[in-house]
Amino acid sequence: MFGIDILHEEHENIRIFTKYVRQLCAQMMEGKEIEKDVLVNCVDFMKNYADIHHHGKEEEILFKVMLDNLGPIANKMVNMGMMIEHNIGRYHVDSLDKVVKSLGEEVTVQQKLDIATHALAYADLLLRHLEKENTVLYPFAVRNLSEELMNKVNEESKRFEEEGAKKGISRYVEWLHSVYQEEEA
Ligand SMILES: [Fe+2]
Ligand SMILES: [Fe+2]
């Protein structure tokens, strides 16, 4: 199931990214200076990998097929649940982006508060969101979509990935692995 597998793979990268964000915020609270470039890279990952690439694929392909074919339960899960969370995530990314763009030589305490507020809220939201998709929404789709519809999801996802590859989407995963390594449990 290429379409679902690739979403799971991206969730794993987003989960690792949330840990990196929490680590950065913890270091900031301990008094370490936060570099603007580091935050610019984080906003770039949030916007272009997590939102445009991952949420974009969910919204344009899987959610669309579910909404068109799986009735009121799918409608409730997608429109009253997942889409609302995607939009709250966008609010936090836009808010963080504004703070980052406003940073000068010295980062003020107020700016640090705004960075922590939006970065941590985003990390918490995304972590819970991807857990719900992994355990409820994706299994619901797998159980209920016909083979024909799942093939459609797979084909469209492959095309989406080809477009992503042309735009160099793999650089986000490479960047993430270069800045954060998860410790062995
Ligand atoms: Fe989602
Ligand atoms: Fe997702």
Residue 118 in contact with residue 99, Cβ under 8 Å?
A: yes
- Reported as a single tens digit per residue, the pLDDT across 111-120 is 999 999 999 9
pLDDT of residue 117: 98
CA of 122 relative to ligand 1 center, distance in Å: 13
Residue 48 predicted with pLDDT over 80: yes
- Reported as a single tens digit per residue, the pLDDT across 63-74 is 999 999 999 999
The residue-averaged pLDDT of 125-131 equals: 98
CA of 58 relative to ligand 2 center, distance in Å: 7
Residue 20 predicted with pLDDT over 80: yes
Distance CA 99, CA 121 (A): 15
Residue 42 in contact with residue 99, Cβ under 8 Å?
A: no
The residue-averaged pLDDT of 135-143 equals: 98
The residue-averaged pLDDT of 124-150 equals: 98
Q: Closest-lying ligand to the alpha carbon of 77?
A: 1
Give the start-to-end residue ranges of the domains of the chain: 2-179
CA of 56 relative to ligand 1 center, distance in Å: 9
CA of 55 relative to ligand 2 center, distance in Å: 6
CA of 159 relative to ligand 1 center, distance in Å: 19
CA of 178 relative to ligand 1 center, distance in Å: 25
* CATH placement of domain 2-179: 1.20.120.520
pLDDT of residue 175: 98
Query: What are the distances in angstroms from CA 107 to CA 14, 94, 95, 118?
Result: 27, 19, 16, 16
Which residues have CB atoms below 5 A from the ion given as ligand 2?
Answer: 133
Give 30's DSSP letter: T
CA dihedral (104, 105, 110, 114) in degrees, to 10, reads 60
Residue 99 is which amino acid? V
